[in-house]
Amino acid sequence: MSSIHRTNQSLPSSADSAACKHVVAASAAAPVPAAATPAATSVPVAVPTPEPDEAAFRERLARHHDELRWLYMELYDNGDMFAELEQQMHRFYNERSASLKALDARREAQGAWYRDQDMLGMQMYIDNFAGTIKGVEEKLPYLERCNVNYIHLMPFLDTPADKSRSDGGYAVKDFRRVRPDLGTMDDLAHLAETCHQHGISLCMDFVMNHTSEDHEWARRARAGEGEYMSRYFFESNQAVIDQYTRDVPQVFPTTAPGHWTYLPERGQCVMTQFYPYQWDLNYRNPRVFNEMMYNFLYLANQGMDIIRIDAVPYIWKQLGTNCRNLPQVHTIVRMMRMIGEIVCPGIVLLGEVVMAPVEVVPYFGTVEKPECHMLYNVTTMATTWHTVATSDTRLLRQQLDAVCSLPRAYTFLNYLRCHDDIGWGLDYPALKQWGQEEVPHKKYLNDYFQGFVPGSTSRGELYNADPVTGDARFCATTASMCGIEAAGFEGDQQAMGVAVRKDLMLHAYMFSQSGLPIIYSGDEVGQVNDYSYKEDPEKAADSRYLHRGAFPWELVENIEHKGTVQNRIFNGLEELERIRRTDPVFSAEATVYPKDYSDVAILWIVRTYEGRTLHAVFNFSDAPKTVWMPERAVYTDLLTGEKAELATFALLPWDFAWYEC
Ligand code: GLC
């Protein structure tokens, strides 16, 4: 950390940017470490030709310098801090390994490498999957067998050991240290290197909205050091607190209501939009922005390929607004994109924007001024499960239509389940036209997926059920939502057949979309809900642990045993992955769109590429269907390889077809 001008002077509300700037300006005047001195400040007698490495840095800096400086000054108006940022960027560039620089160069030359047709991701908790980082490295052969070449390691940076204060690792105590029980930063860098040798990329979370209350900055702020207090939001004016409470939606209305946490030792509140132990960082303070960018570059230099910027819409707060997606957030993401492109251009920014589509898309920026490389296709995910519960694909067709009409360069990350709950963020105005109102519909979805609705085979639990609004989100694994848990429990082989088919159909649908598909670890073997979290007092209050169970290695052996659930799902996925990887119609450059069809239970996705057309047709219902092709022609069934002239074809309940012509 750079030297800090300490002061005991207590600051007024840190929402007062002038006050922050005052403190920070003093720290920015501190001498810059020698290693950080940029070549541009030395005064050579004869200008030497820069080394190729240095020339690459200068060229990238020159490309972005003016815009970066302009945005920085617009936000912070602090030239000293900008100079420090530039010096540190240079330092991190110099510290970047030769092999990572070579990878950067290859990726720069290739363009959007993360859009390759064969990209397939998997998201996992290190401890659940393999105990430690070294354990993950030992399990790489299994991941290669899953055809995975992108691994999202869930938060692994140091966090309070007490799980009730770690939010599954999203309360970071130290951005430069790995949680000791998982390993070390060296283990991580080693894993990254090995992964790169195998053509695998690593994704990690960069939790930039907040730190743990145990982070050094928070501890010093709690002790009253003004410099550190200015990195968070301290408030004692009840009127301000009340206004935030009124204007800003609650993130965890039941498990962590409110936006402020009272600190008796300070006689003040600190802003905590998520859990009380996650203190919101104050990005009005350029020291916070700079230091967080240094953390980002440090982690990129450990060999991380994809940086998932966690909860990014929340990072800028403004009294009188809802504190979400403010223009300054976009300025910061744009600056981050440029900083990455200057220092480590091979890396990808993945924005976690769990918002309505109109808020999500702006995080791509524009084609000339891009922000995130990739964003979660969150509304599509929620709409998919709505479709499962209603057997009505109309909303999903509209949603896919909206996504497909965006510029092709906008890459979405597609998923069925992740570590979080499913929030029912659907297009309610559209649903209203079809007679479905938001509150009763959410209740229906939650009832359906808990298995309370006749005909539902899903199992799972509510999350953050809000008694005031009646709102609730939902937790469960893909397999449990598809009926595998219920069928297994009841020993019902026929129901199991339908459940496995539904599970594979949903994966095939995910693979048919445009974008990068991510499998949630365990889904490849049909892992069901894990209710044991209820026995752990540190986890019991958070039902998201229902779908964060330990990976069932004992079931992996079943992959070899014909007829088992694991055998059917794993091999079924394997086949789909092979087709997606090799058939040109799955190219990232294909044109993709949903096609209308008279039966609302049928979802039809068309992919066209270089004269080939794929008809991907999905039956979202309990009834068998006869489907009419647009024209009688010879089609190839991609699953069997058989060619046949078809006018119609049959689909079992929850089945799908991939026909190409
Ligand atoms: C993101 C994470 C979630 C976490 C939150 C706070 O939304 O996905 O798990 O609770 O950020 O960091």
Interhelix angle 394-404/378-390, nearest 10 degrees: 160
Q: What is the pLDDT of residue 239?
A: 95
Ligand 1, closest atom to CA 167?
10
Both tokens assigned to 47: 């200008």
Q: What local confidence, expressed as pLDDT, does residue 206 receive?
A: 98
* The one catalytic residue among 352, 371, 485, 524: 352
Structure tokens belonging to residue 123: 């998201």
292-306 pLDDT, tens digit per residue, is 999 999 999 999 999
pLDDT score recorded for residue 326: 97
Q: Rounded distance, CA 80 to CA 98, Å?
A: 30
Closest residue CA from atom 6 of ligand 1: 170
What is residue 470's predicted lDDT score, i.e. its pLDDT? Answer: 79
Ligand 1 atom nearest to 210, measured from its CA: 12
Where would I find the beta strands (DSSP E) of 193-334? 201-206, 210-212, 234-235, 260-263, 268-271, 278-280, 306-309
Residues 6+ apart with CB under 8 A from 644: 634, 635, 637
Cβ neighbours, 10 Å, residue 29: 12
Q: Pick the catalytic residue: 86, 158, 305, 310?
A: 310
Which long-range contacts does 270-273 make (Cβ < 8 Å, 24+ apart)? 270/221, 270/232, 270/233, 270/234, 270/235, 271/232, 271/233, 271/235, 271/244, 271/317, 272/210, 273/209, 273/210, 273/248, 273/314, 273/323
For residue range 257-288, what is the model confidence (pLDDT) as tens digits?
A: 889 999 999 999 999 999 999 999 999 999 99
The residues with which 327 forms a beta bridge, in sequence order, are none
Q: Is 172 in the pocket of ligand 1 (CB under 6 A)?
A: no
What is the atom index within ligand 1 of the atom nearest the CA of 171? 12
Is 574 part of the annotated catalytic residue set? no
| Cα-Cα-Cα-Cα dihedral sign, residues 547, 549, 555, 556 | positive
Residue 637 Cβ < 6 Å to ligand 1: no
| CA diameter of the chain | 84
* Ligand 1 binding pocket includes 255 (Cβ within 6 Å): no
Q: Is 580 helix (H, G, I), strand (E, B) or coil?
A: helix
pLDDT at 468: 79
| Token duo for residue 308 | 């998932």
Give the pair of three-digit tokens for residue 603. 């979802």
- Coil, strand or helix at 556: helix
The pLDDT, as a whole number, for residue 12 is 30
The span from the CA of 195 to the CA of 458, in Å, is: 36
The pTM of this model reads 0.91
Candidate from 274, 422, 548 with most ligand 1 atoms within 8 A of CB, to mutate: 274
Residue pair 626/649 in contact (Cβ under 8 Å)? The answer is: yes
β-pair partners for 262: 269
**Ligand 1 mean position, distance from CA 63 (Å):** 34
Place of tokens 């009505």: 392
542 CA distance to ligand 1 middle (Å): 12
Strand order in the sheet with 656-660: 591-594, 602-609, 612-619, 656-660, 625-637, 643-651
A 10 A CB-CB count for 565 gives 22
Amino acid 408: pLDDT: 84
In ligand 1, the atom with minimum distance to the C-alpha of 252 is: 10
Read off φ and ψ for residue 461, nearest 5 degrees: -135, 160
Q: Is residue 269 within 8 Å of residue 237, measured between CB atoms?
A: no
What tokens were used for 163? Answer: 């799980």
**By the 8 A CB rule, do 393 and 603 touch?**
yes
Residue 310 annotated among the catalytic residues of the structure: yes
Q: What is the pLDDT of residue 48?
A: 64
Residue 169, Cβ density class (10 Å: 0-12 exposed, 13-18 middle, ≥19 buried): buried
The pLDDT assigned to 625 comes to 98
Residue 357 has a pLDDT of 86
List of the chain residues with pLDDT < 50? 1-43
